[in-house]
Structure formats: structure tokens, C-alpha cells
Amino acid sequence: ISQVIDGKKLAEDVLSQLKTDIEKYVAQTKLTPKLTAVLVGKNAASESYVKIKMKAAKKVGIATETVRCPESVSEDDLLKIIHELNANPKVNGILVQLPVPNHLPERVVCNAVAPEKDVDGFNITNIGRLCLNLKTMVPCTALAVYHIIRHIGVQTLGKSAVVCGRSKNVGMPIALMLHSQGGAKGGGLDATTTICHRFTPQNELAKLTKSADIIVSAAGVPKLIRGDMIKEGAIVIDVGMTRLLDETTNKASFVGDVDFDEVVKIAGYVTPVPGGVGPVTVAMLLKNTFRAAFIQQNPLYINMI
Ligand code: NAD
């Protein structure tokens, strides 16, 4: 039977350390780190994500602001808002909550955020740096997966890992962290990493996961990972979050990609949904925000981004 990773507890530990670090920083610099979210339109899921992030930020001593734009905002007007935030020295971290409406080009929007304020790590410069194994702002979900694996404490060098999902914001950065060089030369995990996606046949996926030491699923497909697809003792990290809306109560709930009840009997470690990767991801966002503030105050550290 698996050890179930308590993501809430892991996140609380990170946040309490962060709170202490921020208190020290504020006492020394008289500056309060600030995170600004840009929210376009009225997507209920996006509203709730931003709320969760901002609430957590306030708790650790990060000042917050949410800039709201109408669904119909033009590309020029949105870029102007982002450029103003880039130029505002009081703002240390900027996140544009995705998805943006279809008429706005997501890549252009992500690239508009100054790399040193890009706490989501979606700017082309930061992604490029991650690909090159250089210090950068790493996307928060990938950092969360990394943190969880490090917390488990098993050796990952030379182990085999499978990532389900190849999105540029989630699956790909996770695969980059898993496969890349670790130790002094980089922040990677040195695992032999296979990326699966929507065109990977299910039997092929099962063959790959069955021999994997680490499985990270970020597909958004409930019950994609079943008990009979797991090697005994494997680490199974469930990034997937499919939002289900109860039509009678109008309440939202989330399910992951992993058939938890089956997998928990076979895996060595498994993360639940909710209460697994999600809270750790929020904690990583705030760590990135503090890091951004620190770097902006210490130009000598500029090579850290
Ligand atoms: P996305 O829709 O952009 O990408 C989904 C990926 O899954 C695609 O690359 C697709 O090829 C792949 N895929 C689809 N069906 C598959 C299958 N049968 N087998 C293998 N791969 C398959 O979504 P995203 O933005 O990458 O997010 C992925 C999931 O992670 C979503 O459920 C999302 O809600 C969740 N998410 C969670 C967190 C968190 O903090 N826990 C953060 C971001 C995203």
C-alpha cells in the first residue's frame, strides 16, 4: 500500500519558511514583495484559481493586486497593461491567468511579461533557459513535481520516468526537469524520461508506465492511469485536475488522472487530488515571487534568472 503524499502539509511547510524569509527581507529592505495577477474575462475556474493564489500570497506577507480586464479587451490594451506592470518597480511578480480568450494570442501575451517578473515561467526567454539547463523562473507545476520527488527522497538518477501530457506550460517543463542534469551543473533529476501524449496508444502507454519508476500524469483525463499500469513501488504524481460541476448544487470539484483507489494499492507513493500537487504549485508560485523580488533588488544576482 502506498504512502499518500500530503500536498497540503508540504505546502504549509514551504509557506511557513517563506513567511519567515519574507519577514526578514521586509525588515532589511523596507520593501514588500508584490504579486499582480491579470485576469481577463469572467471564467469561473480562473477566478477561483486567482483567489486561491492571492489568499496564499497575503498569508506569507506578499502584497497582491488583481487587475481585471473585460473579455473583449484588445491585444494592444492588454499588452499596455502588462508593459505598465513591467515598468512599475513596486510590482515584483506578474501572472496572466490562462487561458486568455481566443482572440488574444497566448504566446504574445506570455512573452510580454518581463522575464524577471515572469513568476509562471511562461516567457520565451525563461522557457529557453530551462531547455538549456540554465537558472530561470521554472513553471510552478514543474517545481511542485520536483519538490514532491525531492521530499520523497528517493534516488532518481538513472531511473525511468513517464510523463503523460506534453503541453508547453505543464507536461513539457515537468519532462525537462525530470530528464535534465542534476547536481552542481543543474537542477534536474537525471531520469530517463519518456513523454506520452494524446496520440500515444493506450496499450503503448500502459507498457511504458508498467516499467516506470516515476509516473507523472498531466493529461486532464480522469482514470487514465489504472492500477494494472503501475509497477509495484512506483512514484505516481497526479497533476491532472478535471473540474466537475455539480448541476444541482452548482459546486465545483476536481478529479485527477489517476484511479486513486486502484493505484494506492500498488504504488510506493501517490499524490491525491485534491490535496496533492495543487497546493504545492501555489506554494511554488509564491517562492518564485519572492525570488523575483530578491533578484530585482540584487542586480548582481541577475544571472539567476
Ligand atoms: P492541456 O490540455 O494543454 O494538455 C493536455 C496534454 O495531455 C496534451 O499534451 C495531450 O496530448 C495530453 N493527453 C491527452 N490525452 C492523453 C492520453 N490519453 N494519454 C496521454 N496524454 C494525453 O492541459 P495542461 O494545461 O497541460 O494541463 C494538464 C492537466 O493538468 C489539466 O488537467 C490541468 O487542469 C492540470 N493542471 C494542474 C495544475 C496543478 O497545479 N495541479 C496546474 C496546471 C494544470
Measured CA distances, 215 to 30, 165, 239, 286 (Å):
44, 11, 10, 26
Q: Using a 6 Å cutoff on CB, does residue 10 contact ligand 1?
A: no
pLDDT, position 304: 58
Distance CA 280, CA 12 (A): 8
Per DSSP, the residues of 203-225 read HHHHHHHHT-SEEEE-S--TT-B
Q: What is the CATH number of domain 132-278?
A: 3.40.50.720
pLDDT, position 1: 85
168 part of the active site? no
Same fold, 30-114 and 132-278: yes
Q: Are 119 and 255 in contact (CB under 8 A)?
A: no
Polymer length of the chain? 305
Q: Using a 6 Å cutoff on CB, does residue 197 contact ligand 1?
A: yes
Residue 101 CA to ligand 1 center (angstroms) comes to 19
97 part of the active site? yes
Superfamily (CATH) of domain 30-114: Leucine Dehydrogenase, chain A, domain 1 (3.40.50.10860)
Q: What is the pTM of this model?
A: 0.97
Q: Using a 6 Å cutoff on CB, does residue 170 contact ligand 1?
A: yes
120 part of the active site? yes
Point out the catalytic residue in the list 53, 117, 159, 287: 53
Choose one of 52, 127, 241 to mutate for the ligand 1 pocket test, by most ligand atoms within 8 angstroms of C-beta: 241
Measured CA distances, 46 to 105, 245, 262, 276 (Å):
18, 14, 31, 19
Point out the catalytic residue in the list 34, 118, 120, 213: 120
pLDDT one-digit tens code per residue, 141-193: 999 999 999 999 999 999 999 999 999 999 999 999 999 999 877 789 999 99
pLDDT tens string, the chain, 305 residues long: the values are 899 999 999 999 999 999 999 999 999 999 999 999 999 999 999 999 999 999 999 999 999 999 999 999 999 999 999 999 999 999 999 999 999 999 999 999 999 999 999 999 999 999 999 999 998 999 999 999 999 999 999 999 999 999 999 999 999 999 999 999 998 777 899 999 999 999 999 999 999 999 999 999 999 999 999 999 999 999 999 999 999 988 999 888 999 999 999 999 999 999 999 999 999 999 999 999 999 999 998 877 666 55
Count H helices and E strands in the chain, helices first: 10, 11
Indicate the domain borders of the chain: 30-114, 132-278
| Ligand 1: residue whose CA is nearest its atom 5 | 219
Measured CA distances, 84 to 45, 90, 94 (Å):
26, 11, 11
Q: Are 282 and 275 in contact (CB under 8 A)?
A: no
Q: Are 184 and 37 in contact (CB under 8 A)?
A: no
pLDDT, position 305: 52
Residue 127 CA to ligand 1 center (angstroms) comes to 18
Residue 28 CA to ligand 1 center (angstroms) comes to 41
pLDDT, position 303: 66
Q: Using a 6 Å cutoff on CB, does residue 46 contact ligand 1?
A: no
Residue 172 CA to ligand 1 center (angstroms) comes to 10
Element (H, E) at 39: strand 34-40
pLDDT, position 291: 96
Residue type for 111, please? N
Choose one of 197, 223, 284 to mutate for the ligand 1 pocket test, by most ligand atoms within 8 angstroms of C-beta: 197
Per DSSP, the residues of 91-134 read --EEEEPSPPPTTS-HHHHHHHS-GGGBTT--SHHHHHHHHTT-
Distance CA 148, CA 6 (A): 10
**Of 304, 275, 219, 287, the residue nearest 25 (C-alpha):** 287
